[in-house]
Amino acid sequence: MARKIIIDTDPGRDDAVAILLALAAPQELDILALVAVAGNVPIARTESNARRLLELGGRPDIPVYAGCARPLVRPPITAEHVHGGTGLHGLDLPEPQVPLRPEHGVDALIAALRAAPPGEVTVCLLGPATNLAMALVKAPDIGPRIAEVVWMAGARSEGGNVTPAAEYNVHADPDAARVVLDSGVPLTLLPLDLTHQVRLTDARLGRLRQIDTAAARAVAALFSGADGAALQGGLGGPLHDPCVIAHLLRPGLFAGRAINVAVETAGSLTLGMTVADWFGVTGRPVNATWLNRADADGFFDLLFERLARLA
Ligand code: BDR
Ligand code: CA
């Protein structure tokens, strides 16, 4: 039976790849909804990008809801320098035809979790955790109903990508991150430690360009050009968010350790830093599985095989 998932997302170039990968796995994943959040670009664009991507992937029937328009406490921090003004730099998709659902994304998240039997719905977080934090505060009964939260978030070994200490999804809403980390929900984190191993190198981009589907062309367009493989010192752009979906499809591609993770919500230099207790020195209870190793070749084999299946 397909695993029921809700994708909470701020598309975002790598979010787009994650969504397409999920759409290419209909036998394994039953996508109940996409909930947009303000993040890489403002909410008006993340929600419309979510609809655009569902239409591209041939699944306009999946509902899209707009969630929170800003972080819980702090002003928004966007990432247009990475994702472009549209959020999908390099990919020009038409205005979506399917309307946004009228319910607020947080209410939709709560309703979907209450409608399913406990332990059946996995929440995939691809952006700041604002919507899930708000849902957990508004409706604490949903916590025990969540099968698992799988979140691209955090950084330990090399530090952050938005400040020296912090990864974007945590830094953009550290207060929401804290609510989720303290909530007791089963939580798997895919931090930069792992996603920086999963890079779309020139060689992999070459393989991708051989795949003759609209989805593969879209991914190539998103990661081509000056800010594609050339990004990050010629190593190729890291595909952060698709790792969340790949983890659901092939958990064996990733490895890590169950640890305690706390988040810095006060430091002036370290705001949004994930304090990952790798050696168990704090005595704090385990609250997350921190994945820090990836089989990158296996990831790209999976991604390319699936992109070849989508029209
Ligand atoms: C994360 O930040 C965003 O810009 C990406 O979409 C990804 O979710 C990586 O730090
Ligand atoms: Ca994202």
Q: Can you give the residue range of the structural domain that contains 300?
A: 3-307
Check residue 248 and give its pLDDT: 98
DSSP 222-237: HT-STTTTTHHHHT-E
Beta bridge partners of 4: 30, 121
The token pair at 243 is 């790792």
Q: Which of 37, 195, 168 is nearest to 105 (CA)?
A: 37
Number of domains in the chain: 1
Is 277 touching ligand 1 by the criterion CB < 6 Å?
Answer: no
Conformation bin of residue 30: beta by default, left when phi > 0, alpha when psi is -120 to 50: beta
Q: What is the pLDDT along the chain (311 residues), one digit of tens a residue?
A: 999 999 999 999 999 999 999 999 999 999 999 999 999 999 999 999 999 999 999 999 999 999 999 999 999 999 998 889 999 999 999 999 999 999 999 999 999 999 999 999 999 999 999 999 999 999 999 999 999 999 999 999 999 999 999 999 999 999 999 999 999 999 999 999 999 999 999 999 999 999 999 999 999 999 986 554 445 567 889 999 999 999 999 999 999 999 999 999 999 999 999 999 999 999 999 999 999 999 999 999 999 999 999 97
Confirm if 272 and 177 have CB atoms less than 8 A apart.
Answer: yes
Tokens 């419309």 belong to residue = 48
Check residue 229 and give its pLDDT: 46
Distance 245 CA to ligand 2 centre (A): 12
Is 151 touching ligand 1 by the criterion CB < 6 Å?
Answer: no
Is 12 touching ligand 1 by the criterion CB < 6 Å?
Answer: yes
Confirm if 302 and 250 have CB atoms less than 8 A apart.
Answer: yes
* Cα three-residue angle 171-220-15, rounded to 5 degrees: 30
Which is the closest atom of ligand 1 to the Cα of 126? Answer: 8
Phi/psi at 253 (5° precision): -75, -15
Please name which ligand lies nearest the alpha carbon of 162: 1
Distance 78 CA to ligand 2 centre (A): 11
Distance 241 CA to ligand 1 centre (A): 7
User: Is 240 annotated in the active site?
Assistant: yes
Check residue 224 and give its pLDDT: 86
Catalytic residue from among 171, 196, 240, 247: 240
Check residue 233 and give its pLDDT: 64
Distance 117 CA to ligand 1 centre (A): 31
Distance CA 41, CA 70 (A): 11
Is 49 touching ligand 1 by the criterion CB < 6 Å?
Answer: no
The CB density around residue 230, as the number of other CB atoms within 10 Å, is 14
Beta-carbon contacts of 262 under 8 Å, excluding residues fewer than 6 positions away, are 178, 181, 274, 275, 277, 284
Distance CA 124, CA 126 (A): 6
Which helix (DSSP H) or strand (DSSP E) does residue 65 occupy?
strand 64-66
Distance CA 99, CA 64 (A): 8
Is 173 touching ligand 1 by the criterion CB < 6 Å?
Answer: no
Is 161 touching ligand 1 by the criterion CB < 6 Å?
Answer: yes
Q: What is the pTM of this model?
A: 0.97
* CA dihedral for 107, 85, 53, 179, sign (positive or negative): negative
Check residue 311 and give its pLDDT: 77
Conformation bin of residue 149: beta by default, left when phi > 0, alpha when psi is -120 to 50: beta
The token pair at 63 is 């509902």
E-strand ranges in 156-218 read 187-189, 199-200
Which is the closest atom of ligand 1 to the Cα of 238? Answer: 9
Beta bridge partners of 48: none
The CB density around residue 270, as the number of other CB atoms within 10 Å, is 20
Ligand 1: residue of 15, 19, 89 to mutate (most ligand atoms within 8 A of CB) is 15
What CATH number is attached to the domain comprising 221?
A: 3.90.245.10
Ligand 1, atom 2, residue with closest C-alpha: 168
**Residue range 66-100, pLDDT digits in tens:** 999 999 999 999 999 888 999 999 999 999 999 99
